[in-house]
A and B are shown apart, each in its own frame.
Chain A
């Protein structure tokens, strides 16, 4: 498994859906994000891995509030549309903004018609602090068309789990700081069957998204 995930980062590797959960813990090493002071490749920029599931994952039932304050039923409102989904939080200065920026930069390069078809959904793992208003402001920095979702944490956690992503309830620490986590991967739902066929692990670059987005939008990936 580890060998498969370390395979050429730009090759989609067929794996069992059950092993998606393993991808969460292996991501840090797969994308070179493990802090290692003496590795010779330490200066190589990290990139993510595109994983094709041979058992696609269905879209979870999830109704939350979107970043404009409206009720948003994920299944109903994105049915038949290509969707990129990410579970993150806005008080995350490292991975979350980079992930959204990478996606946004790839989206900008698409023809207008394709941009209009694609839905990018950011689901917060920190609903107490990430109100719809805050989500809207944060996402606007990347693309005003991105949708932010905030709401019941348990429902969010359940939906994430069904997609192979483990998120823990945010904890406020004694010193006032928070411990929150984010998903390690971006999920791509095909418009053909509203299921996840492709997963992009942390560190996936704009170039990698640019290569795959046209196919995802067409329902060909």
Chain B
């Protein structure tokens, strides 16, 4: 009996310790299984001319696995692609982009951006543009992005 009780106590203690142990580690290695994505800060620039414009957003991944942004679609334009502005000032189409575990993918001026070419309409400040983001693992996320003036900076008010 004593041994069983001792064994049980040891088991409980071990379990308790394990529980404490993982709590002590904090949330670094925890978090939902797989990627867990949220999109914030989305906006589309009001362009000077009706032929093309750029869009931006931040994807935050609180999950423990990475994911990949594979495409962005929108009814705003014929062609919607993600481009990057390189240090030499040229732009190229960016392939699928990683959204790291416990990390972010940031699209911003001077870096990655969504390029809309062949606009069906010229977006105006105050309007909304709908974008659907598709991923390798996660379900698609649809974002309603406000149209902002060309000089807008996230965090500006």
Contact (Cβ within 8 A) A180 B90: yes
* Chain B residues positioned under 8 Å from A150 (CB to CB): none
| Closest partner residue, chain B, to A185 (CB atom) | B89
Contact (Cβ within 8 A) A93 B110: no
Within 8 A of B (CB), among A140-171: 140-142, 166-168
Bound Cα distance from A105 to B153, whole angstroms? 13
Cross-interface CB contact of B90 among A31, A46, A101, A168, cutoff 8 Å: A168
* Chain B residues positioned under 8 Å from A184 (CB to CB): 87-89
| Closest partner residue, chain B, to A206 (CB atom) | B151
Q: With an 8 A cutoff between CB atoms, is A95 at the interface?
A: yes
Within 8 A of B (CB), among A87-142: 90-95, 97-98, 100-102, 104-105, 134, 137-142
Contact (Cβ within 8 A) B150 A98: yes
* Chain A residues positioned under 8 Å from B91 (CB to CB): 92, 94, 179-181
* Chain A residues positioned under 8 Å from B54 (CB to CB): 93-94, 97
Q: With an 8 A cutoff between CB atoms, is B85 at the interface?
A: yes
Bound Cα distance from A29 to B110, whole angstroms? 10
* Chain A residues positioned under 8 Å from B83 (CB to CB): 94
Count of residues in A whose CB is under 8 Å from the partner chain: 52
Q: With an 8 A cutoff between CB atoms, is B62 at the interface?
A: no
> How far, in Å, is B105 (CB) from chain A's closest CB?
5
| Closest partner residue, chain A, to B55 (CB atom) | A93
* Chain B residues positioned under 8 Å from A24 (CB to CB): 87-89
* Chain A residues positioned under 8 Å from B86 (CB to CB): 28, 181
Contact (Cβ within 8 A) A45 B153: yes
Contact (Cβ within 8 A) B110 A28: yes
Bound Cα distance from A102 to B48, whole angstroms? 13
Contact (Cβ within 8 A) B150 A97: yes
Q: With an 8 A cutoff between CB atoms, is A214 at the interface?
A: no
| Closest partner residue, chain A, to B92 (CB atom) | A179
Contact (Cβ within 8 A) B48 A33: no
Within 8 A of A (CB), among B101-126: 103-113, 115-116
Within 8 A of B (CB), among A55-88: none
* Chain B residues positioned under 8 Å from A142 (CB to CB): 48, 150
Chain B CB count within 10 A is highest, among A26, A101, A138, A142, for: A101
| Closest partner residue, chain B, to A44 (CB atom) | B155
Q: With an 8 A cutoff between CB atoms, is B47 at the interface?
A: yes
Bound Cα distance from A36 to B154, whole angstroms? 17
Q: With an 8 A cutoff between CB atoms, is A183 at the interface?
A: yes
- Given A91-B51, A94-B110, output 16 extra A-B contacts at Cβ < 8 Å: A25-B88, A28-B111, A32-B110, A33-B108, A42-B104, A93-B52, A93-B113, A94-B109, A100-B48, A101-B150, A134-B49, A137-B49, A141-B47, A141-B48, A177-B93, A179-B91
12 residue pairs A–B, Cβ–Cβ below 8 Å: A25-B88, A31-B110, A37-B97, A93-B47, A94-B109, A101-B149, A134-B49, A141-B150, A142-B150, A181-B90, A184-B88, A202-B110
Mark A residues whose CB is within 8 Å of B: 24-29, 31-38, 42-43, 45-46, 90-95, 97-98, 100-102, 104-105, 134, 137-142, 166-168, 177, 179-184, 202-203, 205-206
Closest 10 pairs (CB-CB, A-B): A33-B110, A141-B48, A101-B151, A101-B150, A181-B89, A181-B90, A38-B103, A93-B54, A28-B87, A35-B111
